[in-house]
């Protein structure tokens, strides 16, 4: 029977899940993903974590707890550095320790440490160690790693074609399933990715919305529809076209770094700021909505910086929404409605 690896659908899941899944499946493991966030998961997270944690960390604990009796290992990586100019926030760095000390009755954790600042081969070395725990040798680990990196590249391409993570993951799942059946090589799907990309952009542009919004924040705030009370769906219903930081290619975001008076210490925070600078530069948005987590240290900085930048650069309207487990759907809808109405009026239009 295949080894079952549990992956919590939270935090870095939105950035890396296709890569992680590919790696484990290539080694013959079965990947078990926790369900979408729901009330029970949030409650379990609150019960299992320290009280002053931010909502994404509480939610992560709940997802781990939901996997407890379903898998042989839970994958809880210690992600320290994805780029060389910043680390992730301290809670990411301490995540395996927090989980070990807080969530009872869980199977052993797989906790590789990923830090690109340890050298360009550091990630592959970390993955090879993981493979060893699963009983796989060097060659198969290396093959699985290479394929997983390719899948991650395709995933990022799909995101920059303005797909949301769920849509991109679904497409990749279909393709990888067809690869298994028809023994195609991964490179064969690249053209399919390209055509999906073209049609996705077409769809985004043909919506013809008159409000263009940047919805920024950390991926686990923007794309977890339970935590943000269905914010993206609500905005789409209001006819807004939406841009998120992940829709800007990594290189393009990096090119905006020179505009930062000072880099922030935290990876995701830098990505948010740089994406917003790009949206301003290209005059792509009429308003900015920032989703911030209550009790998030980095956000205390990012939120103020964004507010000032919106005023300074183009007097672009800015809405900051602070979310926690008590946030109510009605309150969010009311504020979004007021914000989008104001944008429509500013442009001299009618809803």
> Using CB under 6 A, which residues numbered 285 to 324 contact ligand SF4?
293, 296-299
Q: Rounded CA gap, 247 and 109, in Å?
A: 32
Q: Is 227 in the site for ligand SF4 (CB under 6 A)?
A: no
Q: Determine the 3-state secondary structure of 30 from DSSP.
A: strand
Burial class (CB in 10 A: 0-12, 13-18, 19+), 120: exposed
Q: Is 336 in the site for ligand SF4 (CB under 6 A)?
A: no
Q: Is 224 in the site for ligand SF4 (CB under 6 A)?
A: no
Cβ-Cβ contacts under 8 Å for 173 (sequence gap 6 or more): none
Least distance to ligand SF4, CB of residue 187, Å: 35
**Token pair in block for residue 253:** 């975001």
The smaller minimum CB distance to ligand SF4, of residues 89 and 131, is found at 89
Least distance to ligand SF4, CB of residue 323, Å: 10
**Token pair in block for residue 79:** 């992600």
The smaller minimum CB distance to ligand SF4, of residues 56 and 62, is found at 56
- Give the total of residues touching ligand SF4 (CB under 6 A): 11
Q: Is 86 in the site for ligand SF4 (CB under 6 A)?
A: no
Q: Is 238 in the site for ligand SF4 (CB under 6 A)?
A: no
Stretch of residues binding ligand SF4 (CB under 6 A), selected from 1-9, 54-62, 168-176, 252-260: 54-62
Q: Is 89 in the site for ligand SF4 (CB under 6 A)?
A: yes
Q: Is 193 in the site for ligand SF4 (CB under 6 A)?
A: no
State which of residues 6, 18, 45, 56 lies at the interface with ligand SF4 (CB under 6 A).
56
Cβ-Cβ contacts under 8 Å for 202 (sequence gap 6 or more): none
Q: Determine the 3-state secondary structure of 209 from DSSP.
A: coil
Q: How far apart are the first and last CA of the chain?
A: 57
Find out whether 296 and 272 touch, Cβ atoms under 8 Å. no
Q: Is 57 in the site for ligand SF4 (CB under 6 A)?
A: yes
The secondary structure element, H or E, covering residue 240 is strand 240-243
Among 326, 327, 296, 304, CA closest to 92? 296
Q: Is 218 in the site for ligand SF4 (CB under 6 A)?
A: yes
Stretch of residues binding ligand SF4 (CB under 6 A), selected from 49-57, 149-157, 167-175, 207-215: 49-57
Phi, psi of 28 (to 5 degrees): 85, 10
Which residues are at the interface with ligand SF4 (CB under 6 A)?
54, 56-57, 89, 91, 218, 293, 296-299
């Amino acid at each position: 029977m295949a080894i079952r690896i549990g992956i919590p659908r939270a935090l870095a899941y939105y950035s890396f899940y296709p890569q992680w899944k590919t790696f484990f499946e290539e080694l013959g493991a079965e990947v078990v993903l926790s369900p979408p966030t729901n009330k029970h998961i949030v409650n379990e997270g609150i019960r299992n974590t320290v009280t002053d944690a931010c909502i994404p960390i509480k939610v992560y604990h709940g997802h781990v707890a939901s996997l407890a009796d379903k898998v042989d290992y839970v994958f809880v990586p210690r992600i320290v550095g994805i780029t060389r100019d910043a680390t992730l926030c301290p809670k990411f760095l301490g995540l395996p320790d927090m989980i070990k000390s807080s969530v009872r009755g869980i199977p052993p954790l797989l906790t590789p440490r990923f830090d690109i600042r340890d050298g360009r081969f550091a990630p592959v070395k970390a993955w090879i160690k993981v493979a060893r725990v699963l009983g796989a040798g060097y060659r198969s680990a290396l093959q699985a790693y290479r394929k997983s990196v390719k899948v991650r590249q395709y995933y990022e391409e799909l995101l920059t074609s303005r797909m949301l993570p769920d849509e991109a993951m679904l497409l990749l799942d279909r393709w990888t399933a067809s690869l298994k059946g028809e023994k195609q090589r991964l490179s064969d799907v690249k053209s399919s990715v390209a055509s999906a990309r073209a049609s996705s952009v077409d769809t985004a542009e043909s919506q013809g919305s008159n409000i263009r919004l940047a919805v920024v924040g950390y991926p686990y705030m923007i794309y977890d529809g339970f935590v943000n009370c269905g914010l993206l769906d609500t905005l789409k219903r209001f006819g807004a076209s939406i841009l998120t930081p992940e829709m800007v290619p990594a290189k393009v975001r990096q090119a905006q770094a020179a505009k930062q008076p000072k880099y922030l210490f935290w990876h995701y925070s830098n990505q948010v700021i740089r994406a917003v600078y790009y949206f301003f530069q290209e005059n792509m948005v009429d308003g900015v909505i920032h989703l911030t987590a209550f009790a998030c240290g980095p956000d205390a900085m990012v939120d103020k910086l964004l507010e000032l930048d919106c005023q300074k650069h183009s007097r672009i309207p800015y809405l900051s929404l602070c979310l926690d487990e008590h946030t109510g759907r009605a309150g969010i809808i009311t504020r979004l409605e007021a914000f989008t109405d104001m944008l429509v009026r500013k442009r001299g239009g009618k809803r």
